[in-house]
Amino acid sequence: MAKKLGLDIKTDPIIWIYEFLFVVTRDSGKEIEFLKYWGKLALYAELHGHHKHPAYAIGLAAAKAGLPIRHDVMNGIDFFDDRVEKVRISKGQSDSNAKQMYFEAQKALENPQGSISKKAMNKVVKYMEYGYHSTRLKVTTLIEDFDFYYRS
């Protein structure tokens, strides 16, 4: 993805940004360029099966746009990410009992109760939606910028 933007990950200043919580502010139009590059990279990543790490696209887009990145603490804002919290707990930086209700709420959202037939129907609908979105993505990227999305 870096090569697609003309960036060299060894020499260009690229900072990876975690996708959980970040803020983009106005900066002389750089924020618009960032959103444009992020949009293209998001489609590229989806098209090529790079779903696992959206932070790459965010950091590369910011580097290409010249948008400065600061890692500031946002007092009063607390967020929960199960993967991060498990690491914090394993390092003794967080109390598992204090976060248990968040783990339970996430589990309930991700695995709702329902009949077997309802779960089966949801799975079928999910695959149909995936097929539709995948086809739409391929058509859109073919029309939008064939070279960017399909040529090496």
Q: How confident is the model over 61-95, as pLDDT tens digits?
A: 999 999 988 877 778 877 788 888 898 899 998 88
Residues 72 and 84 in one domain: no
The single-letter code of the amino acid at 96 is: S
Q: Are residues 33 and 63 in the same domain?
A: yes
1-20 core/surface letters (b: 16 or more CB in 10 A; e: else): bbebbebeeeeeebeebeee
Domain residues for the domain of 96 are: 80-111
Residues 86-134: tens digit of each pLDDT: 988 999 988 889 889 999 999 988 888 888 898 899 899 999 999 999 9
What is the per-residue pLDDT for 71?
A: 75
Q: Residue 133 phi/psi, 5° resolution?
A: -65, -35
Using alpha carbons, select from 49, 48, 46, 23 the residue that is nearest to residue 34. 23
Q: Please give the residue that has the higher pLDDT: either 32 or 71.
A: 32
| Same domain membership, residue 71 and residue 141 | no
Mean pLDDT of 28-43: 94
**Mean pLDDT, all residues of the chain:** 88
- Same domain assignment for residues 61 and 133: no
Question: What is the predicted pLDDT for the residue at 100?
Answer: 92
Residues 125 and 141 placed together within one structural domain of the fold: yes
pLDDT at 54: 73
Same domain, 3 and 69: yes
The number of CA neighbours under 13 Å toward the Cβ of 70 is 6
Number of domains in the chain: 3
11 shares a domain with 66: yes
Model pTM?
0.73
DSSP calls for 38-79 = HHHHHHHHHHTT--S-HHHHHHHHHHHHT--------TT---
Share of the chain above pLDDT 90, in %: 50
